[in-house]
Amino acid sequence: MPIFAALGAAAGAPAAVAGIAGLSIASGALGVVGAIQSGKQASAAAQSEANMADYNSKMSEIQARQAYAAAGVQEDETRRKGRAAIGSQLASSAEAGAGLNGDLLRESVFGVEADSMAIRYEGDLKAQGLKDNAALQASAAAVARDRGKRAVTASYLNAGSSMLTAATGYYGATTKIAAAGKVT
């Protein structure tokens, strides 16, 4: 208790209540430091979460662009192979002397185009899903940053509350002692 009495005396408290004053000051100081430190830790954790969400968002955007590009390449390859197959059909038909079968040719062209469009559609769906995920991750990053800011604000409010609690405790203790006639 001598440390608390010295702290209370240094703060200007009467000798009879210096120990209580010092204890209240130390308690308030620890409450303030703890509240602020807690807010800083929560803010750092939220910032780390926001950074990860930002990273995931950027990766999803990159993957969306890659999905579009891959679908385009696959679509072009399907069309190229389709043209080669149609050319082979026409050559075989001509070699056999069967002539040009318009229905077969039309069906082959439509089949190749349908396959190509299905590939494009699948790529578009995949890319859109990745873009949606990127937007979701960006939103999560913003929420985490906001949570970090609110944690810091709350820590300052908690620090203020700790100070008021300590001051109230000091005042209550000195009032009771004074009422008992022990302090003049």
Instruction: Kindly give the confidence (pLDDT) of every residue in the chain, 184 residues in length, as a single tens digit, with 9 standing for 90 and above.
Output: 577 667 666 666 666 666 777 777 788 888 899 999 999 999 999 999 999 999 999 999 999 999 999 999 999 999 999 999 998 988 888 888 877 777 888 899 999 999 999 999 999 999 999 999 999 999 999 999 999 999 999 999 999 998 888 888 778 777 777 676 655 4
Q: Is the pTM of this model over 0.85?
A: no
Q: Which residue has the tokens 């985490």?
A: 144
Other beta carbons less than 10 A from residue 58's beta carbon = 13
Give the pLDDT score at 79: 95
Please state the domain extents for the chain.
2-179
- Diameter over CA atoms, the chain: 127
123 vs 18: CA distance, rounded Å:
76
Give the pLDDT score at 60: 96
Phi and psi at residue 183, to the nearest 5°:
-120, 135
Give the pLDDT score at 90: 85
Note whether 115 and 82 are within 8 A (CB).
yes
169-178: list long-range contacts, CB under 8 Å, 24+ apart. 169/24, 169/27, 170/20, 170/21, 170/24, 170/25, 173/17, 173/20, 173/24, 174/13, 174/17, 174/20, 174/21, 177/16, 177/17, 177/20
Give the pLDDT score at 172: 78
